[in-house]
Amino acid sequence: MEAPAKIQHPDDITKEKDSSFTPETDSEAAPTFKVEGDVSGDVFGDEESAEVKYKTMAWWQAGMVLHSLTLAVMIAENISLGILSLPAVMAKIGLGPGLIVLLCLCVITTYSGYLYYVFKMKFPFINNVADVGGVLWGPWGQELVGLAYNIFNIFCMASHVLTFMICFNVITEHGTCTLVWGVIAVIVFFLVLIPRTLKNVSYLSIVSALSILCAVIITMIALGISPKDGAHITGFMKTTFPAGMLETTNVVFAFACHNSFPALISELKDPRDFPKSLALLQIVNTILYVIVAVVVYRYAGIDVSSPALGSTGHLVRKISYGIAIPTIIIAGVIFGHLSCKSFYLRIFKGTKYLGSRGFVATASWLGIDAAICVVSFIIAASIPNFSNLLGFVSSLFASFFSYALGGLMWMHVYKGEWFKGGRNIASFVASSFLILIGCAICGLGLYASGKAMHDQSGGSSWSCADNST
């Protein structure tokens, strides 16, 4: 698909005084994916008479959802790739390299996230990364990228089901069969997934953010009162390449929620507010990452657990896990919501059922909700070494969504204008770097996680045994 010769940069778009927004459409690209009868090209069409209105979020609400999604990725992999794993990253590779990697990736992912905004403003009919694949590579691209998108989201949700099981084994001291906790997780996740709009999820995201923040603060206070013997900070640690790379990917995926950006922009009242949401996400998370990583590493030392909750005493560990329950549920539900919305739009896009509260629409949403929850439980119960396997899946997909895809989108939007002016040349170089770093993270991450799966022994699938130790 050829882009138009003249392209308007999002920064140059003039904002009207009123709050209405009529997105620009691409006459050549839109017909394959555009909703029939939708004059604006927007994915949800005219919502004036719709019973369910999707475009209802303010920019700060999108920022909270993004924040919770990042926490979701962090808590994913049995919370080993999350904020509570960052102290262990510092312990493995040293404080200096760890902070450099964290701050550099903050800058890179901010630019990559902004490119999603550029692409969405040019092609307003897209709602998820599958649609992006369709614009870039046609129907086959849409199918393949959509498959990767949903696999990644469902695996991330499954990690939260597994974390829920671990959490309640810790709190109850393995009070019942682990699989029972998994069934309870499915029921809870199903109920929270019932709302169809992200605006409702955004309010829960505030609870999610406060939940993990409180758990982290309790952990830091407990370690500050009773620091580990011999705890100190080391600027640089010697390690093997696979181990160092695996720890580095923990930081990489702490910023990996880009696959959700098109859906979130679609539900903003004014899509031009997205850069503010992105800035809120990156500033809050980076500050939180640095504080937690440094403080916990300082008082827990090089033997800090991952997640860091395990570095505290028995009672504090229970309390911290208990307080983290909202994050475990809500952040996982957001991943499930994105997949539910993807399947729902695939079935009803362009029909009267998209904004309906009738039996067909409601039953279909609940059916998709139930199917995703059950599949997540099956994955969580079937794979004992879930952390390493999700690291493998994340290396394969998250590196593409968070880095390489942003560069490819810029190349497509500005095709034929790559070297017109200093800004375009600089953007071309930066976008090329994104593609290269995405490929490097994918290859090296697959190697590191694959070696970890080979070297570490696993437990039993579908077992009632305690999985919290």
Beta strands in 183-298 (DSSP E): none
Is 468 in contact with 279 (CB distance < 8 Å)?
no
Q: What pLDDT is recorded for position 78? A: 31
Task: Tokens for 91, please give them.
Answer: 């312990």
CATH topology assigned to domain 68-455:
Amino acid/polyamine transporter I (1.20.1740)
Task: Report the pLDDT averaged over residues 118-145.
Answer: 91
pLDDT at 382 over 50: yes
Q: Which of 106-115, 286-295, 348-357, 363-372 has the lowest mean pLDDT?
A: 348-357
3-state secondary structure of 231: coil
Q: What pLDDT is recorded for position 429? A: 95
Q: Which of 196-205, 262-271, 393-402 has the lowest mean pLDDT?
A: 196-205
Dihedral sign for Cα 148, 270, 344, 65, please: positive
Q: What pLDDT is recorded for position 74? A: 34
Q: Where is 248: in which H helix or E strand?
A: helix 241-254
Q: Which of 48-52, 82-86, 224-228, 335-339 has the lowest mean pLDDT?
A: 48-52
Is 269 in contact with 55 (CB distance < 8 Å)?
yes
Q: What pLDDT is recorded for position 346? A: 84
Q: What pLDDT is recorded for position 18? A: 40
DSSP state of 125: T
Residues in CB range of 354: below 8 A, 6 or more apart? 44, 45, 50, 52, 345, 348, 361
Euclidean distance between CA atoms 116 and 147, whole angstroms: 19
pLDDT at 187 over 90: yes
Q: What pLDDT is recorded for position 71? A: 39
Whole-structure pTM value? 0.76
The average confidence (pLDDT) of the chain is 78
Closest CA to 62 of 334, 265, 337: 265
State the residue for tokens 């450099």.
Answer: 100
Q: What pLDDT is recorded for position 385? A: 64
Task: Tokens for 297, please give them.
Answer: 């590493």
Residues in CB range of 403: below 8 A, 6 or more apart? 108, 109, 112, 434, 435, 437, 438, 441
DSSP state of 240: -
3-state secondary structure of 420: coil
pLDDT at 19 over 50: no
Closest CA to 166 of 78, 97, 284: 78
Peptide bond into 307 cis (omega under 30): yes
Max intra-chain CA distance, the chain: 68
Higher pLDDT, 191 or 264: 191
Is 10 in contact with 321 (CB distance < 8 Å)?
no
Report CA-CA distances (Å) from 239 to 116, 231, 249. Answer: 36, 19, 15
Q: What pLDDT is recorded for position 81? A: 42
Looking at the DSSP bridge assignments, the partners of residue 57 are: 268
Amino acid at 155: F
Looking at the DSSP bridge assignments, the partners of residue 268 are: 57
Is 348 in contact with 361 (CB distance < 8 Å)?
yes
Is 215 in contact with 308 (CB distance < 8 Å)?
no
The pLDDT tens digits of the residues spanning 136-180 come to 999 999 999 999 989 988 988 898 898 899 889 989 999 999 999
